[in-house]
């Protein structure tokens, strides 16, 4: 796949999301100068409460996290995934066959979230789900689109708000990907911006039939109400139009783990010139049943995206991307100061710049192999950049990120 096509995909991601940011900003501005009529406000709250009843399932146990999150322990067969018409009545699958060549040595531990530091956990047969609140939904630009990326695809490039620094491979058949992702707390300048670092597994054309599977960490004040880095997942089978969502905010992803809450805050995090922390994520296609599984750290299965959710990803991916993404709403007419990664450029290196290391892919034979021919691309290199490399310990790796607004990025 040509570099021009890669750039087209990145541009599409920008365009897909830009109207989301603009709409959110417009809504926030309107909220400051216009008081909703009581009737209209009541209707919105009714919609919100109806939606909350749908996604917040009855819990057998509740855990309070120090960051304010409420974690509900929900019976695994009652989780939101099984509201999907293609999954209704099913139960979680048994663990899949692991990729050949997988090693559990020196991987991150599963107790990496703030809520788990309470010492409490969810009972066997349940899964931990971060409870969605009225406040969460009131921050969203649309109740109907809550937890989803924007729907309308625009072809112009005059106001794209999303910027990337990524490493990628394409031109082959990909059955999974693995990486260790350095975790930071980048500054996010506006409620309607975010900063994330993730893995994408991609298939289909860059139009209405785009399929993606995504996992990583993100700082998103609009979605979560704070600036903590949080573990997240995403999926779509129609270019973010009507399918898919973050985490468990719609039916689709099936969680099988009772110790990890998708959408919960990550702890510890890295510090500049200090301790470094990363999370290891593996996504791969089970050769027996075809589902796309997600694993965290040292052999901890999180769950899977059922193959029936997808069209092109029913077979394999045709591109894998690793890297960072931010939203730039251009506050005051200048570039945002929202940071990517650590907020420092790639050239600063270890302990200062954020990294992805040990990049691998899963081939047709369910074998985990080092990535070859990794390419790197930053679409706004004066704001956020990327530098790749290879060594014996980290294999394929790259540093990436930046501060956003600076003298060369006005």
Evaluate if residue 151 carries a pLDDT over 70.
no
Q: For residues 6 and 168, is the Cβ–Cβ distance under 8 A?
A: yes
Q: What is the mean pLDDT of the segment spanning 125-153? A: 85
Question: What's the total number of domains in the chain?
Answer: 1
More confident residue, 144 or 157: 144
Structure confidence by residue, pLDDT tens digits, 106-122 = 555 567 899 988 889 99
Position 306 in a domain: yes
Give residue 207's pLDDT: 77
In terms of Cα–Cα distance, which of 18, 70, 91 is closest to 328?
Answer: 18
Give residue 10's pLDDT: 56
- Tell me the catalytic residues: 214, 325
Whole-number mean pLDDT of the chain?
Answer: 88
Give residue 118's pLDDT: 87
Structural domain harbouring 310? 162-402
Q: For residues 278 and 229, is the Cβ–Cβ distance under 8 A?
A: no
Q: What is the mean pLDDT of the segment spanning 229-254? A: 95
Evaluate if residue 171 carries a pLDDT over 80.
yes
Position 274 in a domain: yes
Q: What is the mean pLDDT of the segment spanning 46-74? A: 95
Sign of CA dihedral 228, 278, 16, 50: negative
Give residue 267's pLDDT: 93
Share of the chain above pLDDT 70, in %: 86
Give residue 9's pLDDT: 57
Phi, psi of 314 (to 5 degrees): -65, -25
Share of the chain above pLDDT 90, in %: 75
- What CATH number is associated with residue 195? 2.60.120.1270
Structure confidence by residue, pLDDT tens digits, 73-99 = 999 999 999 999 999 888 999 999 999
Give residue 298's pLDDT: 82
Position 172 in a domain: yes
Evaluate if residue 279 carries a pLDDT over 80.
yes
Position 123 in a domain: no
Residue 275: CB partners within 8 Å, gap ≥ 6? Answer: 268
Centre a 10 Å sphere on the Cβ of residue 30 and count the other Cβ atoms it contains: 10
For residue 98 the two structure tokens come to 């692991």
Centre a 10 Å sphere on the Cβ of residue 45 and count the other Cβ atoms it contains: 14
Position 25 in a domain: no
For residue 230 the two structure tokens come to 């949080």
DSSP string, 123-170: PTTEEEEEPP-HHHHHHSS-STTTTS---------SS--EEEEEEEEE
Give residue 27's pLDDT: 43
Confidence class of residue 29 from pLDDT cuts 50, 70 and 90? Answer: very low
Structure confidence by residue, pLDDT tens digits, 309-360 = 999 999 999 999 999 999 999 999 999 999 999 999 999 999 999 999 999 9
How many Cα atoms occupy the beta-carbon half-sphere of 382 within 13 Å? Answer: 8
Please give the C-alpha separations between residue 202 and each of 95, 163, 166, 326, in angstroms, as whole numbers.
Answer: 23, 18, 14, 19
Encode 187-220: b = buried (16+ Cβ within 10 Å), e = exposed.
Answer: ebbbbbbbbbbbbbbbbbebeeebbbbbbbbbbb
Give residue 315's pLDDT: 96
C-alpha of 268 from chain center: 18
Give residue 170's pLDDT: 96
The DSSP call for residue 278 is E
Give residue 121's pLDDT: 93
Structure confidence by residue, pLDDT tens digits, 358-396 = 999 999 999 999 998 999 999 999 999 999 999 999 999
Give residue 3's pLDDT: 53
Position 114 in a domain: no
Give residue 408's pLDDT: 97
Cα of first residue to Cα of last residue in the chain, in angstroms, is 33
Position 73 in a domain: no
Give residue 266's pLDDT: 96
Structure confidence by residue, pLDDT tens digits, 182-206 = 999 999 999 999 999 999 999 998 7
Position 105 in a domain: no
């Amino acid at each position: 796949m040509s570099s021009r096509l890669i750039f087209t995909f990145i541009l599409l991601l920008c365009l897909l999301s830009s109207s989301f940011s603009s709409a959110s900003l417009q809504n926030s501005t309107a909220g400051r100068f216009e008081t909703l009529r009581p009737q209209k406000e009541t209707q919105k709250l009714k919609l919100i409460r109806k939606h909350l009843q749908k996604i917040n399932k009855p819990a057998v146990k509740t855990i309070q996290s120090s960051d304010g999150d409420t974690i509900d322990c929900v019976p695994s067969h009652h989780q939101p995934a099984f509201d999907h018409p293609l999954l209704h009545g099913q139960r979680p699958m048994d663990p899949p066959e692991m990729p050949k060549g997988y090693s559990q040595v020196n991987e991150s531990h599963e107790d990496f979230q703030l809520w788990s530091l309470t010492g409490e956990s969810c009972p066997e047969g349940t899964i931990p789900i971060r409870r969605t609140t009225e406040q969460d939904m009131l921050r969203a630009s649309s109740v109907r689109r809550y937890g989803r990326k924007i729907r309308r695809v625009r072809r112009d490039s005059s106001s794209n708000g999303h910027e990337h620094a990524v490493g990628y491979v394409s031109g082959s058949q990909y059955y999974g990907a693995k990486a260790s992702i350095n975790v930071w707390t980048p500054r996010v300048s506006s409620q309607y911006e975010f900063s994330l670092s993730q893995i994408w597994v991609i298939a289909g054309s860059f139009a209405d039939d785009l399929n993606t599977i995504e996992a990583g960490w993100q700082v998103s004040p609009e979605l979560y109400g704070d600036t903590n880095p949080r573990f997240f997942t995403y999926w779509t089978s129609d270019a973010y139009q009507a399918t898919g969502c973050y985490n468990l905010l719609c039916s689709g992803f099936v969680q099988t783990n009772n110790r990890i809450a998708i959408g919960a805050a990550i702890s510890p995090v890295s510090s500049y010139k200090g301790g470094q922390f990363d999370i290891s994520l593996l996504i791969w296609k089970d050769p027996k049943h075809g589902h796309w599984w997600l694993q965290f750290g040292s052999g901890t299965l999180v769950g899977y995206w059922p193959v029936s959710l997808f069209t092109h990803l029913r077979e394999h991916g045709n591109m894998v991307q690793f890297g960072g993404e931010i939203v730039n709403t251009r506050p005051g007419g200048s570039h945002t100061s929202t940071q990517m990664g650590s907020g420092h450029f790639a050239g600063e290196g270890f302990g200062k710049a954020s990294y992805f290391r040990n990049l691998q892919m899963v081939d047709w034979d369910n074998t985990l192999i080092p990535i070859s021919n990794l390419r790197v691309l930053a679409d706004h290199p004066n704001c956020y950049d990327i530098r790749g490399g290879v060594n014996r310990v980290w294999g394929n790796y790259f540093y990436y990120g930046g501060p956003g607004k600076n003298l060369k990025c006005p």
